[in-house]
Amino acid sequence: MGTFLRALGAGVVSAVVTGGARSVLDTVSPGGPDRWTRTNHRGEPISLLEGPAVAAGLVAGALVAGPDARTRTATALATAGGGAFGLVDDLAEDPSTRTKGIKGHVGALLKGQVTTGGLKVLGIGTTSLAAAFVGTRRTGSTFGYLTDVAVNGSIVALSANLFNLLDLRPGRALKAGAALALPLVVTPVGATSGAVLGAAVAAAPGDLSERDMLGDGGANALGALVGTQVAFGTPRAVRLLALAGVLGLNVASEKVSFSKVIDGNPLLRRFDQWGRRPAAPAARPTPSAPSAVSSVDEPSSGQDAPA
């Protein structure tokens, strides 16, 4: 019953903070609204303000949900780190030095090029590892403890990046977070699922309607929080399997389009498209130039590719 009440409280707090922060940011946008506005494939403006609002809601919910101060601190640290460094990449990225994917970011760092993407990789990696040191309990030898810290920190950091890779269609990352949080409710840190669900419910209307997008700040925060649920709430064997899974997906993303995989699977495609606006209809050929227009499927997302 205690877990249920904490989950309920975390959900309410997360939803209220997410919705409230989004409303406040609409009124007072740091740097002005243009700084937070991008253009989607429909030629319509879309706002990045959802990202910091969701990150704030997730941190607030995590502080309510954790079973103890140690877990609450670690979860909030990882989530805040994902949100903060993701937001830096959203707002301060230099298009002339833009790189994509972890491979691109690390490659730039090895060449001595410090990009916002590279800073994000270093920052999220550091905060994830720090959170793992705080949240991992010592249950055996020093070597075993340090191994657990490394595994847990890697799960959190890679999960943060994985959710950024999913944020390529409206609502996709929010749905993935909710779908993963539901089964994790049975873990010792299951109340944190309430924070994920609360933020998702509050942010979904704007995200699905393509008025808002999570951006790196929101997606990294969401992924980091889900990662902490696995890191601090499951047995070592499960964590090792999870690490192999998120690592494999991150590596695969360098060669494989997740969108193509999802679109090619009827069940995944239906879940992915649930609640979204219909795709823009293809332009009709004009009588004067019947062969000048071809039917080409356009991307269904307002989100940019992750950096």
Each residue of 196-244: pLDDT tens digit?
999 999 999 999 999 999 999 999 999 999 999 999 999 999 999 999 9
Report the interhelical angle of 172-181 vs 192-208 (nearest 10°).
160
d(CA 92, CA 95): 9
Sign of CA dihedral 52, 53, 56, 61: negative
Contact between residue 168 and residue 235 where contact means Cβ atoms under 8 Å apart: no
Each residue of 273-307: pLDDT tens digit?
999 988 766 555 545 444 333 333 333 344 444 54
Determine the Cα angle at 121 with ends 115 and 124, to 5°.
130
DSSP 207: H
Contact between residue 134 and residue 78 where contact means Cβ atoms under 8 Å apart: no
Beta-strand ranges (E) seen in 24-81 are 37-39, 45-47
Each residue of 105-127: pLDDT tens digit?
677 667 777 788 889 999 999 99
d(CA 70, CA 232): 11
Terminal-residue alpha carbon distance, the chain: 42
**Prediction pTM value:** 0.88
Contact between residue 209 and residue 68 where contact means Cβ atoms under 8 Å apart: no
Burial class of residue 95 in the structure, from the number of CB atoms within 10 Å of its CB (0-12 exposed, 13-18 middle, 19+ buried): exposed
Please give the structure tokens belonging to residue 286: 């004009």
For a pLDDT cut of 70, what percent of the chain falls above it?
85
Each residue of 145-177: pLDDT tens digit?
999 999 999 999 999 999 999 998 999 999 999
d(CA 3, CA 190): 7
d(CA 116, CA 93): 5
